[in-house]
A and B are shown apart, each in its own frame.
Chain A
């Protein structure tokens, strides 16, 4: 059963005219006529050079960007790990930020206490959990952001660039946690330059080139083709 379906999707990004050149605003296609279907439980890796359109494609799949042309059928219950710094208020504590995120992601209030206990145990921040997040180190912030994005199981998980900003130990712990919230029926779509990570966690690979799908195949075949 398909959970994500893009039908001939094109996304135009407005490009402001440069100052003094006399050029007016124009637009360029970031994603160009992409048609793809992702089934429930599939693990899909997105590959492509910088500017190939990986992040834009992820945002269309997450329902954040609306296609300029074409249509996108996306799942309502989607969790995203796109921008690690998003939504953290430096003057609020880790706990307050967590509650805010739960409200923003529509988690019912009745589940808050249980989720917060689980989160506190995973984060291992100790008393810092109740301190303003402006006192956190980069690693602690990354841990909090990751923990917030993975508070419960979702139908679809969309991950951009893995968790490259944190240490190896945390990456291992992060993947352990991710595996606990990724059920057998969870669909995972991740974009990364880390080919080993994609090979380990994905079964299907999509290579993007200048906004178009260049290859859609088994992950090993996609990586081999992309590397060559």
Chain B
């Protein structure tokens, strides 16, 4: 954010050793002196998938295994997205020490958060694969695309995370609002429910980028899943994000002086 986003981006790419090291170190710190280490994340993910699949199956009075694959993939993506958004709140305040003592770029700190969640999601992947197999879906090479899909999703989350980190630095009110917004997004996104082809829920999915992501990833790795083909809305989203990023540029230039 020194002089332009191009400089910031190239700087962040050059600093890949820093953010990848910091992300891996974060996981070591978070799970230090625990018996399972980052596999605790997989345990929690497995429990959540089973719990929600059982609840949905009971409500619909269908076999649990019918729901396992879809809910497993959906929760993997949702956990990834929501964790990145939530961990971006007050990111620059939390990383004050690094910002005031090193030249590390602000964008590198945002990418560190995304990369940390990519690494954590890799531990969750075996649980998802097990759920897909238990759900009766024949193993397909398409499952191998899941890490790649997460990587693409993570790239798309860099700008929203930067916006959140900047907004919460300038106004702490946003730090109170964003967790509620993320929680609300969970209910309006087709994580537990399937997008109907018509009606209000369909309209809700049409304007929700997380719904598009969920649909796209489910369509990629699961057979018989609806897949969105509306590239125009993706372009619209990218445009909106870039506009947001330009609007917050005065903030990004003064992050170090604000922390």
Query: Smallest Cβ distance from A174 to chain B, in angstroms?
Result: 18
User: B102 — which chain A residues lie within 8 A by C-beta?
Assistant: 64, 80, 87, 104
Interface string of B18-55 (1 = CB under 8 A from A): 10011001001100110000000000000000000000
Q: Are B256 and A103 in contact (CB under 8 A)?
A: no
If A64-B100, A82-B100, A87-B97 touch, whether A103 touches B17 (CB-CB below 8 Å) is yes
User: A11 — which chain B residues lie within 8 A by C-beta?
Assistant: 257
Interface string of A66-91 (1 = CB under 8 A from B): 10100000000000101101110101
Is B200 among interface residues, defined by CB-CB distance under 8 A?
A: no
Is B142 among interface residues, defined by CB-CB distance under 8 A?
A: no
If A12-B257, A14-B254 touch, whether A91 touches B32 (CB-CB below 8 Å) is yes
Partner pick for B97 among A25, A63, A86, CB 8 A cutoff: A86
Q: How large is the interface on A (under 10, 10 to 19, 20 to 34, 35 or more residues)?
A: 20 to 34
- Most chain A CB atoms below 10 A, which of B18, B101, B103: B101
Is A65 among interface residues, defined by CB-CB distance under 8 A?
A: yes
Interface string of B69-109 (1 = CB under 8 A from A): 00000000000000000000000000001111111100000
Is B233 among interface residues, defined by CB-CB distance under 8 A?
A: no
Q: Interface size of B by Cβ–Cβ distance < 8 Å?
A: 24
Q: Are B97 and A59 in contact (CB under 8 A)?
A: no
Q: Are B103 and A64 in contact (CB under 8 A)?
A: yes
Q: Are B98 and A103 in contact (CB under 8 A)?
A: no
Is A33 among interface residues, defined by CB-CB distance under 8 A?
A: no
Task: Give chain A interface residues in 79-111, CB to chain B under 8 Å.
Answer: 80, 82-83, 85-87, 89, 91-92, 96, 100, 103-104, 106
Is A13 among interface residues, defined by CB-CB distance under 8 A?
A: yes
Q: Are A91 and B17 in contact (CB under 8 A)?
A: no
Q: Are B25 and A89 in contact (CB under 8 A)?
A: yes
Partner pick for A13 among B2, B22, B253, B257, CB 8 A cutoff: B257
Determine the distance from Cα of A87 to Cα of B257 in the docked complex, in whole angstroms: 19
Determine the distance from Cα of A80 to Cα of B28 in the docked complex, in whole angstroms: 26
Determine the distance from Cα of A82 to Cα of B99 in the docked complex, in whole angstroms: 12
Which residue in chain B gives the minimum CB-CB distance to A105? Answer: B102
User: A80 — which chain B residues lie within 8 A by C-beta?
Assistant: 101-102
Which residue in chain B gives the minimum CB-CB distance to A62? Answer: B103
- Most chain A CB atoms below 10 A, which of B33, B257, B258: B257
Determine the distance from Cα of A66 to Cα of B104 in the docked complex, in whole angstroms: 12
Partner pick for B103 among A63, A68, A87, A91, CB 8 A cutoff: A63
* A and B contact pairs by CB, cutoff 8 A, 11 listed: A12-B254, A64-B99, A65-B256, A80-B102, A82-B100, A82-B101, A86-B97, A89-B25, A92-B25, A103-B17, A104-B102
Measuring CB to CB, which residues of chain B are less than 8 angstroms from any residue of chain A? 2, 17-18, 21-22, 25, 28-29, 32-33, 97-104, 170, 253-254, 256-258
A-B residue pairs, 6 tightest by C-beta: A86-B97, A91-B32, A86-B101, A103-B21, A13-B257, A91-B29
